[in-house]
Amino acid sequence: MSTLTKQTLSHLDWLEAEAIHIMREVAGQCANPVLLFSGGKDSICMLRLAEKAFRPGRFPFPLMHIDTGHNYKEVTDFRDKRAAELGERLIVRSVEDSMARGTVVLKSADESRNKHQSVTLLEAIEEFGFDACIGGARRDEEKARAKERIMSFRDEFGQWDPKNQRPELWNLYNARSHKGENIRAFPISNWTELDVWQYIAREQLELPSIYFAHVRPVVRKNGLMQPVTDVTPAKPGDKVEDVLVRFRTVGDITCTAPVESDADTVEKILAETATTTITERGATRMDDQTSEASMEQRKKEGYF
Amino acid sequence: MSAPEQLPEIDNGLLRFLTCGSVDDGKSTLIGRLLFDTKTILADTMNAIEKTSAKRGMTAVDLSLLTDGLQAEREQGITIDVAYRYFTTGRRKYIIADAPGHEQYTRNMVTAASTANLAIILIDARKGVLTQTRRHSYLASLVGIPHLLVAVNKMDLVDYDEATFERIKADYLAFAGQLGIKDVRFIPISALAGDMIVDRGERLPWYAGPTLLEILEAAPAAHTEQAEDFRFPVQFVCRPHDSANPELHDYRGFMGRVESGEIAIGDAVTVLPSGASSKVKAISLGSDQLERAIHEQSVTLLLEDEIDISRGDMIVKTVEAPSAIKQIDATVCWLSETPMSPARTYLVRHTTREAKAKIAKIDYRLDVNTLEQQPVTSLAMNDIARITLKLAQPIVADPYRANRATGAFIIIDESTNNTVGAGMIG
């Protein structure tokens, strides 16, 4: 038990090999999968993994983004550019279209559209007949994800029932589904935020600019920094400050907060990530703070 | 955020391990302690569990809350599934599979054990070796976990008494011999006080061995130190047909993961079950061309000859070819709430191949506590049994003891598509 003789993979090589294996299983088992690509760092890693899994062939799935209409332009521009560079098909479906159809009804005009992405996603799954959605969610992100399967089963309503998940043994994945049902596949389940940044550094992956330190007007509220944007303007009495920040996660503007940082390179971000004292979602997600169980609740309702 | 410090240099790969024990053994506290002492727990998470501890009227922070799972479980006050936790020491990345230890959760433990290379078996120092200790050890050994670490916990409650530790160790060794468990180590710990987990502490001066974390840091990452035969189940065939690139016109890449052994350019290979032979022309990983590929690498193989190969086929070295079989004797664990129906046809998924299967016979069910063999006509959830399956199509398999990847299979119920059983050949 004390010697290390047999050659084994480094942790990043192992994680990469596992993710490639999972993507190929989805492609081998499912008739019509799709890869969800937002332009965020996790999904950027997913595209590199898909290249390693399937080149010189085309990806055996299109890319898709569910756009709330409240995303940073830097990120959606990057999304379009990256898909074009890869020569892969990008489908964009918009929460605003669901609102126009009346399938998404906001409680108020300024309610966050983030949780309503589930509706648009389910509509897109139905429109294209996708039997599997490959996503970049990680188990370390949130408690409710720690027990998530790599191949997660969703019923006809897109619902995740934590008590009705398939046992997953060895690396024998079961991605079978009946018509109308859906598999959510998570190839980087076993990655942490630090692994993602290490992979970005190693693979020299390009990222949207807002991941790096930049000056941005913000309002400090409840321990978070809320960015001041067209979508989230300052309210009367708010104290707007220009702060050097970067985003640790990018998503809907109304629920993603930046962190104070002067890290303007991947190397500096890596150093910060290795020594940070706050979790990724704790520092940045306004939607997860409402209740300890809020992610679990959203997932049961079909959230990715 | 704090100022950049030095980056972690991870050079010792990744270790997956399993913790076995019930809530009473302090399993959650041990995991919480490992995460806490390796500085994996960040301030906001810590704040949350401090609040919860205070709300529940505890005077100290309850580290076991860190592994508390879903709302549904919190309401019931139990854990019902396998959860995965992550930490890194700078030298190595760890994945913990956290499975509840209660008898009715045999299937969870088998699930968690299937991907682990080391198991920590927790024993309460006040209680010593219990029925569940035997059960956990048996299941770990059944699933082929090569390294067991018996952690005698709650030493703080027995005054850190060496004689107590030695007595438990002797008791354990007495039955471990019967199970054929070879690599087993013992360590006295207090997860609550943090003794001998990451830090040695001052209260166990009589114990001269490594701390629990030091043992994890030094454990082999490979499932076995023995040389294994090369096994490459084909997952996907890449035929680009790119009219803009005539070079790719005849390209046929066989994509998969090296499940065991290794392969190099020029090696003679056989494709099973067809039996066609060729040589390896190239090995690629993304844009990198490799001379050889090792165990667990996901690569693309190109062969010298044009052979018809599809998903479900297996590429092996010609000199180490296994045989294709249509009948398998196996130990299975039934996973589903719906009992096995011996008259039905199930689906077996083995590597990247699926085959319809019928239950030819159930030899016996094994009582996981007494190891007594009991005659049965069906299997219920959590049962472990010896059975024989007849397959409609052949699979290319090895005994599980010789090869974990090609000796394992799952059983699927086609009507629900649920995974209802897990099997080990041999």
Burial B15-47 (b: 16+ CB within 10 A, else e): bbbbbbbbeebbbbbbbbbbbbbbebbeeebbe
Distance separating alpha carbons of residues A145 and B235, to the nearest angstrom: 27
Q: How far is A161 from chain B (nearest CA, A)?
A: 10
| pLDDT(B382) > 70 | yes
Q: DSSP string spanning B76-107?
A: HTS--S-EEEEEE-SS-EEEEEE---SGGGHH
Q: What does the pLDDT average to over B256-280?
A: 97
Look at A239-253, B140-154, B242-256 and tell me which has the smallest mean pLDDT.
Answer: B242-256
Question: Which of B412, B418, B407, B414 lies closest to B114 in space, CA to CA?
Answer: B407
Distance separating alpha carbons of residues A261 and A243, to the nearest angstrom: 9
CB contact under 8 A, B352 and A28: yes
Question: Which of A132, A135, A133 lies closest to A19 in space, CA to CA?
Answer: A135
Which of A7, A58, A283 comes nearest B294 by C-beta?
A7
| pLDDT(A111) > 90 | no
Tokens of A116: 């309503």
Percent of chain A with pLDDT over 90: 65
CB contact under 8 A, A177 and B218: no
Distance of CA A198 to the CA centre of its chain: 17
Distance of CA B39 to the CA centre of its chain: 25
Tokens of B67: 């592994």
Q: How far is A134 from chain B (nearest CA, A)?
A: 17
Confidence of residue B364 (pLDDT cuts 50, 70, 90): very high
The CATH architecture that domain A11-194+293-300 belongs to is 3-Layer(aba) Sandwich (3.40)
Which one has a higher pLDDT value, A95 or A277?
A95
Does the fold of domain B231-320 match that of domain B14-218?
no
Tokens of B277: 């032979």
CATH number of B14-218: 3.40.50.300
Confidence of residue B66 (pLDDT cuts 50, 70, 90): low
**What's the confidence (pLDDT) of residue B313?**
97
Which one has a higher pLDDT value, B211 or B81?
B211
Give how far Cα B365 sits from Cα of B67, B345, B348, B360, B420, Å. Answer: 33, 20, 20, 15, 16
Q: For chain A, what are the domain ranges?
A: 11-194+293-300, 207-284
HEC profile of A173-227: CCCCCCCCCEEEECCCCCCCHHHHHHHHHHHCCCCCHHHCCEEEEEEEECCEEEE
**What's the confidence (pLDDT) of residue B2?**
37
Distance separating alpha carbons of residues B336 and B110, to the nearest angstrom: 13
Burial A89-106 (b: 16+ CB within 10 A, else e): ebbbbbbebbbeeeebee
Distance separating alpha carbons of residues A43 and A31, to the nearest angstrom: 22
Indicate the burial class of A76 (C-beta count within 10 angstroms; 0-12, 13-18, 19 or more): middle
Look at A95-109, B58-72, B75-89, B409-423 and tell me which has the smallest mean pLDDT.
Answer: B58-72
Contacts with A231 (C-beta within 8 Å, 6 or more apart), sequence order: A70, A253, A254
Residues 202-261 of B with CB under 8 A from A: 215, 218-222, 224-225, 235-236, 238-240, 242, 245, 248, 251, 253, 255-257
pLDDT in tens, B139-161: 999 999 989 999 999 999 999 99
Cβ-based neighbour number of residue A250 at 10 Å: 24
| pLDDT(B78) > 50 | no
End-to-end CA distance of chain A: 41
CB contact under 8 A, A278 and B93: no
pLDDT in tens, A120-143: 999 999 999 999 999 999 998 877
Residues 102-141 of B with CB under 8 A from A: 107-108, 110-111, 114-115
Q: Is B264 on the interface with A (CB under 8 A)?
A: no
DSSP state of B318: G
**What's the confidence (pLDDT) of residue B76?**
52
Distance separating alpha carbons of residues B307 and B305, to the nearest angstrom: 6
Confidence of residue B10 (pLDDT cuts 50, 70, 90): low
Tokens of B33: 């302690």
Confidence of residue B43 (pLDDT cuts 50, 70, 90): low
Contacts with B14 (C-beta within 8 Å, 6 or more apart), sequence order: A9, A11, A14, A15, B92, B93, B94, B95, B221
Would strands B345-350 and B353-366 be described as parallel, antiparallel, or unpaired?
Answer: antiparallel
Q: DSSP string spanning A118-145?
A: HHHHHHHHHHHT-SEEE----GGG-GGG
Q: Is B18 on the interface with A (CB under 8 A)?
A: no
Contacts with A73 (C-beta within 8 Å, 6 or more apart), sequence order: none
Give how far Cα B127 sits from Cα of B156, B167, B175, Å. Answer: 13, 11, 16
CB contact under 8 A, A147 and B311: no
Confidence of residue B37 (pLDDT cuts 50, 70, 90): confident
CB contact under 8 A, A271 and B10: no
**What's the confidence (pLDDT) of residue B90?**
81
**What's the confidence (pLDDT) of residue A192?**
92
3-state secondary structure of B150: strand
Tokens of A114: 């983030």
Look at A119-133, A261-275, B73-87, B380-394 and tell me which has the smallest mean pLDDT.
Answer: B73-87
| pLDDT(A64) > 60 | yes
Give how far Cα A199 sits from Cα of B5, B204, B257, Å. Answer: 19, 41, 20
CB contact under 8 A, B42 and A279: yes
| pLDDT(B416) > 70 | yes
| pLDDT(B282) > 60 | yes
Between the ranges A2-6, B106-110, B134-138, B164-168, where is the mean pLDDT highest? B164-168
Q: How far is B344 from chain A (nearest CA, A)?
A: 19
Distance separating alpha carbons of residues B75 and B96, to the nearest angstrom: 24
Look at A22-26, A184-188, A235-239 and tell me which has the smallest mean pLDDT.
Answer: A235-239
Q: What is the mean pLDDT of chain A?
A: 88
Give how far Cα A289 sits from Cα of A250, B19, B22, B90, B367, Å. Answer: 17, 30, 31, 30, 46
Q: Is B88 on the interface with A (CB under 8 A)?
A: yes
End-to-end CA distance of chain B: 54
Q: Which residues pair with A214 in a beta bridge?
A: A245
Judged by phi (left if over 0) then psi (alpha if -120 to 50, else beta), residue B201 lies in left
Q: For chain B, what are the domain ranges?
A: 14-218, 231-320, 324-425
Domain B324-425 has CATH 2.40.30.10: yes
Q: What is the mean pLDDT of chain B?
A: 89
Distance separating alpha carbons of residues B261 and B296, to the nearest angstrom: 9
**What's the confidence (pLDDT) of residue A297?**
59
**What's the confidence (pLDDT) of residue A13?**
95
Contacts with B119 (C-beta within 8 Å, 6 or more apart), sequence order: B17, B18, B19, B20, B113, B136, B140, B145, B147, B148, B149
| pLDDT(B7) > 60 | no
Rg (chain A; Cα; Å): 19
B295 and B260 Cβ atoms separated by less than 8 Å: yes
Q: What does the pLDDT average to over A47-55?
A: 98
Residues in chain B: 426
**What's the confidence (pLDDT) of residue A287?**
55
**What's the confidence (pLDDT) of residue B4?**
36
Find the farthest-apart pair of alpha carbons in chain A and give their distance in angstroms, rounded: 66
Distance separating alpha carbons of residues A55 and B239, to the nearest angstrom: 10
**What's the confidence (pLDDT) of residue A285?**
60
**What's the confidence (pLDDT) of residue B69?**
54
Look at A222-231, B313-322, B352-361 and tell me which has the smallest mean pLDDT.
Answer: A222-231
Which of A11, A147, A190 comes nearest B83 by C-beta?
A147
Cβ-based neighbour number of residue A29 at 10 Å: 23
Say what the ipTM of the complex is. Answer: 0.92
Between the ranges A23-37, A228-242, B62-76, where is the mean pLDDT highest? A23-37
CATH topology classification for B231-320: Elongation Factor Tu (Ef-tu); domain 3 (2.40.30)
Give how far Cα B61 sits from Cα of B53, B197, B314, Å. Answer: 6, 18, 52
| pLDDT(B28) > 60 | yes
| pLDDT(B126) > 60 | yes
**What's the confidence (pLDDT) of residue B44?**
67
CB contact under 8 A, A52 and B69: no
Distance of CA A83 to the CA centre of its chain: 16
Q: Which residue type sits at A7?
A: Q
Percent of chain B with pLDDT over 70: 90
3-state secondary structure of B346: strand
CB contact under 8 A, A8 and B11: no
Tokens of B62: 């309850």
Contacts with B378 (C-beta within 8 Å, 6 or more apart), sequence order: B339, B340, B341, B342, B362
| pLDDT(A300) > 90 | no
**What's the confidence (pLDDT) of residue B77?**
45
All residues of chain B having their beta carbon less than 8 Å from the beta carbon of residue A14 are 13-14, 296
